[in-house]
Chain A
């Protein structure tokens, strides 16, 4: 089966511009997560979708970040306007189950550089 697909793989934008990241989870996975790793720090949780609903968005840094998952399939993460500190690698992950310790599958990530 196809894995979790993220694109673009790299994006370089100027401060103040808008960027939209996309994640296609494994087909049939109800759970979709966004994580981010900024340089020198650990991977941090951003938010969790169950189907099209936001289950937990406690990790979203501020209101410049907007995540959507229309129809419960793919998800987008928009950053508007981008700031320098938004640079990092954004990972998407999906899982089928709702119990503890789900089997996560991560995408390869989008490396975002804000200059």
Chain B
């Protein structure tokens, strides 16, 4: 069974600060996805990383996939109140392609 440990579970910071969310596993994933979820809505895909060591940037968000494809991180630079939300990592891998294994999520609150 593949597991993804996501940390921290809660993050409360001031506007302008930087933050990093981590996703770790003992299993290898073929791809790692990051989602953002708003209350009452489903997860919305932010990015997919598929190559070990891959780094992708989406404005102030930087996503990294570990060299061994067992871990990933999401770094937000100069956080803004609009970044507030639930961030989820999810991986695909093993024998069941397409099936996502989710981390528990990180609830981010950015205070003005």
User: Closest approach, in angstroms, between the C-beta of A9 and any C-beta of chain B?
Assistant: 8
**Beta-carbon contact of A43 and B102 below 8 Å:** yes
Is residue A108 contacting chain B, with contact meaning CB distance below 8 A? yes
Q: Chain A at the B interface: mostly helix, strand, loop or mixed?
A: loop
Task: Report the count of interface residues on B (CB-CB < 8 A).
Answer: 27
If the complex has contacts A103-B45, A104-B45, are A45 and B105 also in contact, measured as CB distance less than 8 A? no
If the complex has contacts A4-B42, A93-B42, A106-B42, are A33 and B102 also in contact, measured as CB distance less than 8 A? no
Q: Chain B at the A interface: mostly helix, strand, loop or mixed?
A: loop
For residue B43, which residue of chain A has the nearest CB? A106
A-contact bits for B26-42, CB 8 A (1 contact / 0 none): 00001101010000111
If the complex has contacts A4-B42, A44-B102, A106-B42, are A101 and B96 also in contact, measured as CB distance less than 8 A? no
Residue numbers in A under 8 Å from B44 (CB-CB):
106
For residue A31, which residue of chain B has the nearest CB? B98
User: Could you say which of A100, A103, A106, A109 contacts B30, with CB atoms under 8 Å apart?
Assistant: A100
- Residues on A facing B (Cβ under 8 Å): 4, 31, 33, 35, 41-45, 48, 55-56, 58-59, 91, 93, 95, 98-109
